[in-house]
Amino acid sequence: MTTLGSGKYKIEVAPAGVNGQRLPPIADVSRGLERLRWNRKLDAISSAIAEFVVVPDCFDDLCTVRTVWHELRVRRDGHIVWEGPIVVKKTRRGSMELIAFDLSWWLQRRFIPGGVLIGQSLDLAQIVDLLVAASLSQTFSGSPMDPAFLGFFSSRNVQITANPSVAATSYRYAFDELRSWAQTELDWTVVKRAMLVGNPPVEVRLPKLTLNDFLGDPEIVESGTDYATDVVVIGGDGRTVGIASVESVLGIRVPAHLRAQVREIVQDVSDQATLQLIAEQMIRLRYPSPVEIKMGTGAALSPKAPVCIDQLIPGAIGEVDVTGFCAERTLQMSELVNLSVTVTSKGEKVATDVRPVVTV
């Protein structure tokens, strides 16, 4: 692939995949493309938004696009970098906008079959594997269903076990369950047709990035609103708790007038050991005030940055050094949480957001 900032793009529309497989495209709508934005996210559904000027050569192709039944496919230098179901189609005089989400969007529309997890004590990554498989494998009536990315699921154990259960009458969405487990040590992301789960979800090590690798002004955000010295995590049964403090976790004594307490409720966990790990994790995240490095308005990675698009996967880890900014923390091991790419007639802009790496 080419360096950042100089990718050549092709936009295709294809039928929704069957049995997790890609189907041949029905249209190449690149010619009418005016603006493209696509991203990859950690613990969230990613999206792609394509804006078109309607011209005679591509109007008929765009007219045939059907939400949910069709997927948007983004190619960069001939390689697929993003794909997923088209969920919104906006038509105006002389223009059209297609909004698509990655394949995890389906988990918001699929129930978890009752009893699928009962009696199984498994690693959290294995639980998510079962949740995805169960929710995508059959309809509410029990008939077979397209398993979307079932054959492209990759999980890495996080060494935390749980024994959850889903009642037969709960009608609980798979995505709600996935979001709950993402509050623990488990992270997930979707890249193309693959769902990656673990801590981290991928074994990708980013090269060290320095101030010279950024264009514009990245933002270093220290958030006192997330500051905490004492954490209580309450399980779904309302009785089991995990309790942690800066003294018990970090061995640091904080004066009484500077203490801040935080309560978190995790509906799907009642195991005390897991709740305790979550509480300790929250202390590490919230004390001292956490720092994120974000790409501010107009900021982007330089074409000279020693990294390529394939490496920029949420969950990838590397050192970020922004020495020179007026901030206490300027060098830290960081985790990529968001990749955002914008393509216009002026070219490609690639931006990333990172957060501090926190280990238990």
Together in a domain, 37 and 83: yes
Domain boundary among 242, 261, 286: 286
Do 234 and 137 have their domain in common? no
Q: What are phi and psi of 273, to 5 degrees?
A: -65, -40
Residue 359 has pLDDT above 70, yes or no: no
Number of domains in the chain: 4
Decide if 106 is inside a domain. no
Residue 77 lies in a domain: yes
Nearest 10 degrees: Cα torsion 224, 225, 228, 231: -170
Question: So what's the pLDDT on residue 211?
Answer: 78
Looking at residue 292, its amino acid is E
- The mean predicted confidence, pLDDT, of the chain is 83
| 80 and 14 within one domain | yes
Domain finish residue from 49, 83, 101: 101
Phi, psi of 179 (to 5 degrees): -65, -35
Q: Tokens 């309450």: give the residue.
A: 234
By C-alpha distance, which of 215, 207, 212, 216 is closest to 306? 207
pTM over 0.85: no
Q: Kindly state the percentage of the chain with pLDDT values over 90.
A: 38
The CATH number of the domain holding residue 242 is 3.30.1920
Residue ranges making up the domain that contains 171: 111-198
Lowest-confidence segment of 9-13, 201-205, 322-326 by average pLDDT: 322-326
My answer on whether 147 and 267 are in the same domain is no
CA distance 350 to 58: 27
pLDDT grade, residue 51 (50/70/90)? Answer: very high
What pLDDT is attached to residue 222? 78
Most confident of the following: 3-17, 48-62, 162-176, 313-327: 3-17
- pLDDT over 60 at 199, yes or no: yes
Distance CA 216, CA 65 (A): 38
pLDDT for 358 equals 47
Mean pLDDT lowest among 37-46, 70-79, 139-148, 225-234:
139-148
* CA dist., res. 301 & res. 209, Å (int): 9
Q: Over pLDDT 70: what percentage of the chain?
A: 83
Count CB-CB contacts under 10 A for residue 251: 7
Are 82 and 76 spatial neighbours (Cβ–Cβ below 8 Å)?
no
Q: How far is CA 167 from the centre of its chain?
A: 28
Exposed/middle/buried for residue 262 (C-beta within 10 Å: 0-12, 13-18, 19+): middle
Paired residues of 295 in beta bridges: 218
Mean pLDDT of 101-121: 80
Question: Any idea which of 48-57, 63-72, 97-106 has the lowest mean pLDDT?
Answer: 48-57
List pLDDT tens digits, range 163-183: 666 655 567 888 888 888 787
- Which residue, 237, 270, 242, 239, is CA-closest to 163? 270
Which residue stretches of the chain are H helix? 56-63, 124-137, 174-181, 246-250, 272-286
* Residue 47 identity: S
Q: Using the Cα atoms of residue 70, residue 72, residue 78 and residue 79 in order, give the sign of their dihedral.
A: negative
